[in-house]
Amino acid sequence: MASTSSSEPPSVSDVEENRTRLCDEFAAIAGTGSAVAQCYLAENDWEMERALNSFFEADMEKVFEVESSPERKTVPEPKKTKVEEKPAEDCIDLTEASPASRCKPGDEDDDKLSLITWNVDGLDTDLLSDRARSLCSFIALYTPDVVFLQELIPPYIKYLKKRAVSYLIIEGNEEGYFTGMMLKKSRLKFLESEIVAYPTTQMMRNLLVAQVEFKGQKLCLMTSHLESCKDQAKERMKQLQLVMERMREAQSDVTVLFGGDTNLRDTEVAKVGLPTGVLDVWERLGKQEHCRYTWDTKANSNKNVSYVSRCRFDRVYLRPATKDGVPHLLPDHMALLGLDKLDCGRYTSDHWGIYCSFATN
């Protein structure tokens, strides 16, 4: 039987099959129909990454019709992490149209630090662009000083870099899914950042750390997505222990703030224990019931599961500075975000987001 040379071009049927598969993948990621997918892929020589970048860049121009803000002062080069320093010329700043005094509930004090932490579920590609626009709407509304994000994917990061010119974006990785930070340039002075590995993770998890200054106060900001699933409790507790060691070991003139999707159960936290001086912000603010469950399949239908699961997976921990004469940040307010279903029929994420503010004591 004659052999077929590997150098022969693919058959018409193979090309059609491959392009159909690419259209399906594009549609799943971008939340479009097959016709839109085919258009963007064809215009970009059937290269998935180029086509997705083109789609998200075009799509984001429709979100906030505001003028581009002037370029901010360039920050120092970080350590071991990718940081978006200089925005592209056609970026549109999503934060310029919303005055902070209106966006922070009950907060007209410019000395307060504000934070959003949210697992945005980028791995769920269903209507991803609608959900990404919703996240941007919350950032525009609340104009937080710090944003911690988990389950980011590269297209999501590209989207945010176009929408959030007034924020410095730090990535916990460049491939797969990862965490990220957004730091308000006009409010925070960025010093350096690093990625701390979890040696035995099976799920690409790590700890993203940034050193910043806020109105002369030294802050250590940390976010992570701890190991998921009930049967990963042992690994998750090891990761929590590493986080707590970093918080405990920080210098006494530094305030340490951690926020993220911890996947923790209360029994696991009790086994590890919180170091002296580390506060669970939700507990410190009185364990308000309406802020308890950040993972709630009873109220959130994004995962469309038959069982009810209500857990406080997303948590914020604070270790105020202890040195005499140094300003101390203490929890002031907490609220959950993303509780309303979007017009597309989905929620912003399968997790509720957390908004917190901190007052100087």
Active-site residue flag, 261: yes
Please choose, from the candidates 315, 317, 325, the residue with its C-alpha nearest in 3D space to the C-alpha of residue 217.
325
Catalytic residue among 93, 145, 261, 350: 261
Structural tokens at position 97: 């149209």
CB 344 within 8 A of CB 130: yes
Structure tokens at 186: 């006009």
Instruction: Report the b/e string of 42-74 with b at 16+ CB within 10 A.
Output: eebebeeeebbbbbbeebbeebbeeeebeebee
Strands (E), the chain: 82-84, 113-119, 146-152, 167-171, 178-184, 189-197, 206-214, 217-225, 254-261, 279-280, 295-296, 310-311, 314-319, 329-337, 353-360
Residue 142 to residue 137: CA distance in whole angstroms: 9
Closest C-alpha to 240, from 222, 256, 264, 257: 264
Output the CA angle 251-256-257, nearest 5 degrees.
Answer: 175
Question: CA distances (Å), 163 to each of 46, 60, 97, 160, 266, in order?
Answer: 26, 7, 12, 5, 37
Distance between CA atoms of residues 180 and 169, nearest Å: 7
Alpha-carbon gap, residue 131 to 136, rounded angstroms? 9
What are the distances in angstroms from CA 309 to CA 74, 334, 349? 45, 22, 15
Measured over the CA atoms of residue 178, residue 341, residue 163 and residue 316, the dihedral's sign is negative
Which of the residues are catalytic? 261
